[in-house]
Amino acid sequence: MRRSYARNPPLAPLQNQGRPGPQAHRAESHLPSAPSVPKATAVSTFPARGDKKQVEEGLGFTPKFDADGLMPAMAIDATTKEPLMLAYMNAESLQLTLEKGEAVYWSRSRQEIWHKGATSGHVQKIQEIRTDCDQDAIVLYVEQIGAGACHTGRSGCFYRKIDTATGEMSFIQDGKAFDPESVYGKA
Amino acid sequence: MRRSYARNPPLAPLQNQGRPGPQAHRAESHLPSAPSVPKATAVSTFPARGDKKQVEEGLGFTPKFDADGLMPAMAIDATTKEPLMLAYMNAESLQLTLEKGEAVYWSRSRQEIWHKGATSGHVQKIQEIRTDCDQDAIVLYVEQIGAGACHTGRSGCFYRKIDTATGEMSFIQDGKAFDPESVYGKA
C-alpha cells in the first residue's frame, strides 16, 4: 500500500502551554484550562498501534512516542557504521524525515523542529530507517553531508570512551573534522 | 586518577513515591510531603558537571540524566557493528555497568534494575563505552553472549526497515536466531 506522508489533513499547529505570554488577558483566567499538551506533541498521522504481536511481528509502522511526545533516534554513518549522534523526534519531525529523506529532529533545548544541517549544510541523507521490536526507537543509516555531524567540529558525537576501571575518559579520535566557529559562529 | 565505582558510601535505597501503599498511616498525612523523586532516580556518585566546555572537551565523566533520572543507551555488537537494542540507564544501573563490565539497564516497564541476560543468559560483555558531546547518551560496544539480544528471538531489535515512500516495513533478516519461548517462557 502506498501511503503518503504529505500532510492531509494538515498537522494541527503545535499548541502553546505553560505560562501565558505577556499578551495574555487576565480576564480569560476564569476559562477552563486547556489540556496540558507538551509542545513536542503534534497530531500524529501514523496509524493506531495494534496488539503486542502486531507491533513486534507486523509490517505496519506504528511508532510509539513517550509522555513528552518524543522517541530517541540514533544516526549511524551508513558507510563506516560509526554512531554519529543520538537525538529525538516527535511525530511531525519523523514524518518530515520520511517526506524529505533527510534527518529532521525535535530540538529539546530550543523546543522546535530541527532540520539537521539547515544552517550548517551538514544534512543527513537517509539511506535506511529501522525501528525496534516495540517501535519506540529509530535507527537512521545516513550519508553525512559535510565534514561531520557534531557541533563540536567532530565527525560524530561519540568521540570519548570511558575507562571502566578509573572512570576517566579518553578521546577515540584526535583533532576535529571541521572548525565549528566557521560553520556555526562563535558559541 | 583511579576512581572506584564500588559503593562507598553505599547508594541510597531507591525512594518510593506516588500513592502510599496499603500500610501507609493516615495519621502521617499531616507531615510535609517528601520531595517528588522518580523511582528511577538514585543518588549518583558521579562527579558534578562543569561548564559547557568541560562537559564537551574535558575527560571527566559527568553523565546527565533526564527529568526521570534516565539516559538512553544504545548497545552495538562490537564485532558486526550492528545496533542491538536501545534501552535506558539510571545512575545506579550505569554504575553497575561500569563495575560488572556487563550491561545493566533500568527497566521502565518493570521500574527496576535490569541486568540484561540475568535470566536468559544472554548477557552483554562490555568492550567499550562511549558518551556523546553533552554526556547525556551512551553507546555500548558489547560482545553479545548467546544467540541474540532481542526478546523476540532475533540477534537485535532493529530487524525491520521502513520504506519512506510507502510507510510499510520489511524484515532485514529472515528467521529468528533462537526460540524465545525456550529461553523466556511463553509470553
* Parallel/antiparallel/unpaired status of strands A124-131 and A138-144: antiparallel
Q: Is the pLDDT of residue B39 over 60?
A: no
Q: Is the pLDDT of residue A36 over 90?
A: no
Is A61 within a domain?
Answer: yes
Is B68 within a domain?
Answer: yes
pLDDT in tens, B113-148: 999 999 889 999 999 999 999 999 999 999 999 988
pLDDT at A173: 75
- Region of residue B60 (phi > 0: left; psi between -120 and 50: alpha; otherwise: beta): beta
Q: Is A95 helix (H, G, I), strand (E, B) or coil?
A: helix
Chain A CB contacts of B74 below 8 Å? 74, 83, 86
Q: Which residue of A44, A86, A97, A128 to mutate against B (max B Cβ within 10 Å)? A: A86
Q: How far apart are CA A103 and CA A94, in angstroms?
A: 8
Q: What percent of chain B has pLDDT over 90?
A: 62
pLDDT at A179: 74
pLDDT at A171: 95
When the pLDDT of each residue in chain A is averaged and rounded to a whole number, the result is 81
Chain B CB contacts of A61 below 8 Å? 162, 167-169
Identify which of A124, A175, A130, A169 has the alpha carbon closest to the alpha carbon of residue A154.
Answer: A175
The grid coordinates of residue B31 equal 507531615
A170 contacts chain B (CB < 8 A): yes
Judged by average pLDDT, the poorest of A58-72, A162-176, B89-103 is: A162-176
Domain of residue A42, CATH code: 3.10.20.810
B184 contacts chain A (CB < 8 A): no
Q: Is the pLDDT of residue B37 over 60?
A: no
One DSSP character per residue, A158-176 reads --EEE-TTT-BEEESS-S-
The alpha carbon of residue B160 is apart from the nearest alpha carbon of chain A, in Å, by 6
* Partner residues linked to B144 by β-bridges: B124
CA distances from B60 to B10, B25, B50, B56, B138 (A): 22, 45, 9, 10, 15
pLDDT in tens, A87-134: 999 999 999 999 999 999 999 999 999 999 998 899 999 999 999 999
The alpha carbon of residue A11 is apart from the nearest alpha carbon of chain B, in Å, by 17
Identify which of A82, A77, A55 has the alpha carbon closest to the alpha carbon of residue A136.
Answer: A55
Is A15 within a domain?
Answer: no
pLDDT in tens, A8-20: 333 333 333 333 3
**Residues A166 and B3 sit within 8 Å (Cβ to Cβ):** yes
pLDDT-based confidence at residue B180 (cuts at 50, 70, 90)? confident
Name every residue whose Cβ is closer than 8 Å to that of residue B27 and which is 6 or more positions away in sequence.
none
- Region of residue A146 (phi > 0: left; psi between -120 and 50: alpha; otherwise: beta): left
Q: How far apart are CA A92 and CA A94, in angstroms?
A: 5
Chain A CB contacts of B133 below 8 Å? 150-152, 154, 157, 159
Is A6 within a domain?
Answer: no
More confident: A23 or B52: B52
Is A16 within a domain?
Answer: no
Query: Structural domain tally of chain A?
Result: 1
pLDDT at A45: 83
pLDDT at B10: 37
CB-based burial of residue B164 (10 Å sphere; 0-12 exposed, 13-18 middle, 19+ buried)?
A: middle
Candidate ranges A24-28, A179-183, B79-83; pick with highest mean pLDDT:
B79-83
Q: Is the pLDDT of residue B182 over 90?
A: no
B78 contacts chain A (CB < 8 A): no
B61 contacts chain A (CB < 8 A): yes
pLDDT at A186: 59
pLDDT in tens, B44-83: 789 999 999 999 999 999 999 999 999 999 999 999 999 9
Helix ranges (H only) for chain A are 52-57, 91-100, 180-184
**Residues A83 and A76 sit within 8 Å (Cβ to Cβ):** yes
Range of the domain at B124: 26-146
CA distances from B142 to A85, A104, B20, B134 (A): 18, 29, 40, 22
- Region of residue B51 (phi > 0: left; psi between -120 and 50: alpha; otherwise: beta): beta
Is A138 within a domain?
Answer: yes
Cβ within 8 Å, pair B83-A101 = no
Cβ within 8 Å, pair B160-A86 = no
Is B174 within a domain?
Answer: no
When the pLDDT of each residue in chain B is averaged and rounded to a whole number, the result is 81
pLDDT at B36: 45
Q: Is the pLDDT of residue A43 over 70?
A: no
More confident: A171 or A179: A171
A64 contacts chain B (CB < 8 A): no
Is B57 within a domain?
Answer: yes
pLDDT in tens, A46-70: 999 999 999 999 999 999 999 999 9
